[in-house]
A and B are shown apart, each in its own frame.
Chain A
Amino acid sequence: MKPREKAQVLDETALERALIRIAHEIVEKNGGTADLAFVGLRTRGVTLAQRLAERVTGIEGVKPPVGTLDITLYRDDLGLKVAQPVVRGTEIPFDVTGKIVILVDDVLFTGRTIRAALDAIMDLGRPRAIQLAILVDRGHRELPIRPDYVGKNLPTSRREIVAVRLREHDGEDRVVIEEPAEE
């Protein structure tokens, strides 16, 4: 059974506004684009990182580099699942050392993915700083991790599903809350 859609959190316009605001906040906080680099977490974080980098280019006229991070090899639940999750590969075509890395993901939940991402980036070099940009922060953190840029704070219950749908993957720009189907 497919999960049932419960409520819409962001429509296309609101999602775009959130990205523009975050792009402005990134530029403001870092005083421009010097040493700025975006790293998106597979899969939708990569798309959001590319969009944020484009918005920053629109503001400052300089395009920061964008990389792709796959955190599978850094997960803390390997061996607990029935089969190993698929490794899709990291592609970071720049040296992270000395950079201000903006880590981008769609939803922030327990914080475990971000913990893995921090370890993965540290293995690649020594960034000057890592900042976290998130489209939806749904709470329920299990680790002391806090985002620097948030599109939308969304109180949820644990069993709800926050689905970020992006044009490139899902044919529409929308964020919804879903409820798992009853058995």
Chain B
Amino acid sequence: MGWTRKDLLTMQELEPAEIGLILDTAASMKEIAGREIKKVPTLRGRTVVNLFYEASTRTRTSFEIAGKWLSADVVNWSAAGSSAAKGETLLDTAKNIEAMSPDVVVVRHGASGTAQLLARALKCAVVNAGDGAHEHPTQALLDLLTIREKKGHLEGLSVAIVGDIAHSRVARSNIHGMKKLGMTVTVAGPPTLIPPFVQELGVKVSHRLEEAIADVDVIMMLRLQQERMTSGLIPSLREYARYWGLTRASLSGARQDVLIMHPGPVNRGIELAPEVADGPYSVILDQVANGVAVRMAVLYLLAGARAQA
């Protein structure tokens, strides 16, 4: 099957075959990272604009490298120090960017639904690089690619997603993607950080770390998002680390071949003990490398769908 969508906004809307197409394309793109000269001419003359309203290093850099390896021109537009700080609205900014004829706009924003709003307003392709606590589809895709590489398949695998589920767009995108591909998901964390009715997404809920990670193929630790916490959802960082931090001791009940993932940036000593983050089960740096491949795949597929318009 071919890619026909104008935008990549959520994992929720994707068909399993579309996820498969992105993962297969990304796996093929990985060869380019191993070359001495890391560039193919595929998107020559195309322009990608990174429109980031929230701090991001990994994701923005990853999209930038992905675009550049495909020979696209990549421009970064960050909110700090730009017209947004002078009071321009999001849609006005987007329309101004559109007037410069980009082919793809990659957007990150603190408000859920921003990517959908832009996708409706703009003729060019829009990629959601994270909208509030809603979705972050390319993160879920790079996680799925990493698991598939390490385990050889996805269907039937079990995953525990641990930590601040309520504020996590990474968790939400992964849950949608994993359920579609026949994986079992357990979310775990203190009750204040588990959204009500999360079971309706088809996941199990656990309130004990050891129980959640006992018999899973993958443990995905989430960052404690202190910047999104307005009220006291946890008593203290120390207490959180003690009950929900993954350490060598808490791993003793996990499977021998378990994978440990983290979307970054890691709060060392809070959700992940350093010896675990740097340990043999950790695939955190594979995730980063696969992030570039997934974003190359997404840019490639979206740049093609444009021709229909």
Contact = CB atoms under 8 A, between A and B. Distances in A.
Interface in B243-301: 297, 300-301
Given A82-B307, A89-B27, 10 more contacts: A73-B42, A74-B40, A79-B306, A81-B304, A83-B2, A86-B2, A87-B24, A87-B25, A87-B29, A89-B28
Interface of A: 70, 73-74, 78-84, 86-91, 119-120, 123-125
A119 B31 CA distance: 16
B31 A89 contact: yes
The 7 closest A-B pairs by CB, nearest first: A83-B2, A84-B304, A89-B28, A73-B40, A73-B42, A87-B28, A87-B25
Nearest to A125: B36
Interface residues of B, number: 27
Secondary structure of the B contact surface, majority rule: helix
B236 interface: no
B141 interface: no
Contact of A84 (B28, B40, B300): B300
A87 B305 CA distance: 15
17 contacts: A78-B304, A79-B306, A82-B4, A83-B3, A84-B2, A84-B3, A84-B304, A84-B305, A86-B21, A86-B25, A87-B28, A87-B29, A89-B28, A91-B31, A123-B35, A123-B40, A125-B36
B42 A74 contact: yes
B100 interface: no
A84 to B, nearest CB: 3
A67 B307 CA distance: 32
Tell me what chain A mostly uses at the interface: helix, strand, loop, or mixed: loop
B308 interface: yes
Contacts of A81: 304, 307
B307 A87 contact: no
B85 interface: no
Given A88-B28, A124-B35, A73 B303 contact: no
Contacts of A89: 27-29, 31
Given A74-B41, A89-B31, A83 B300 contact: no
A73 B293 CA distance: 14
Contacts of A124: 35
Contacts of B28: 70, 87-90
B37 interface: yes
B179 interface: no
B39 interface: yes
Contacts of B27: 89
A90 B3 CA distance: 21
A146 to B, nearest CB: 24
A79 B40 contact: no
A79 B21 CA distance: 18
A132 to B, nearest CB: 21
B46 to A, nearest CB: 8
Interface in B1-35: 2-4, 21, 24-25, 27-29, 31, 35
Contacts of B25: 86-87
B307 A119 contact: no
Contacts of A73: 40-42, 70, 300
Nearest to A79: B307
A59 B20 CA distance: 43
